[in-house]
Amino acid sequence: MSFYKYHVFFCTNQRDDGSACCQQHNAHEARDYAKKRIKELGLSGHGEVRINKAGCLDRCDLGPVLVVYPDETWYTFVDNEDIDEIINEHLLNGRIVPRLQI
Ligand code: FES
C-alpha cells in the first residue's frame, strides 16, 4: 500500500518573463485552498491525501495544472468550485472528473 492514498501536486511555478506559467492563474492560491479543504475534511495524513506544490510540470500551455497520483490523472481548473469537484469526486469517491482532465 502506498504511503498516501492520493498524492496531489499543484504546479505553482511563476515566470517573470511573461511566458505561460501556472501562477498566472493563481495556482498557489488554489493549492492553499485544496490543502485547507483536505484538512477540514479530515483527509490529511498517512494513508489519506497529501497536497503538495510542485515546480513546472512541463504542461505550461494547459495550465494551471495538477496531477493526482497514483492514478496519474492530470487536471486543469478555473476556480475553487473546480477544486471542490476534484476533491469531492476523485479524492473522496475515486471518480475521475473528465471535464477537467487534460
Ligand atoms: S508552469 Fe506549470 S506546468 Fe509549467
Provide the residue ranges of all domains of the chain, joining segments of one domain with +: 6-100
Please determine, for residue 1, whether its predicted confidence score (pLDDT) is greater than 90.
Answer: no
Q: Tell me the three state secondary structure of residue 59.
A: coil
Whether 30 lines ligand 1, by a CB cut-off of 6 Å, is no
Q: How far is the CA of 18 from the centre of ligand 1 (A)?
A: 13
Whether 92 lines ligand 1, by a CB cut-off of 6 Å, is no
From 21, 66, 75, mutation site for ligand 1 pocket: most ligand atoms within 8 A of C-beta: 21
From 9, 11, 25, 26, mutation site for ligand 1 pocket: most ligand atoms within 8 A of C-beta: 11
pLDDT at 44: 95
Question: What is the topology classification, in CATH, of domain 6-100?
Answer: Glutaredoxin (3.40.30)
What percent of the chain shows pLDDT beyond 90? Answer: 98
Distance CA 84, CA 59 (A): 22
pLDDT at 2: 84
Q: What is the pLDDT of residues 30-69, one digit of tens each?
A: 999 999 999 999 999 999 999 999 999 999 999 999 999 9
Distance CA 71, CA 79 (A): 22
Mean pLDDT of 73-91: 98
Mean pLDDT of 81-86: 98
Distance CA 89, CA 84 (A): 8
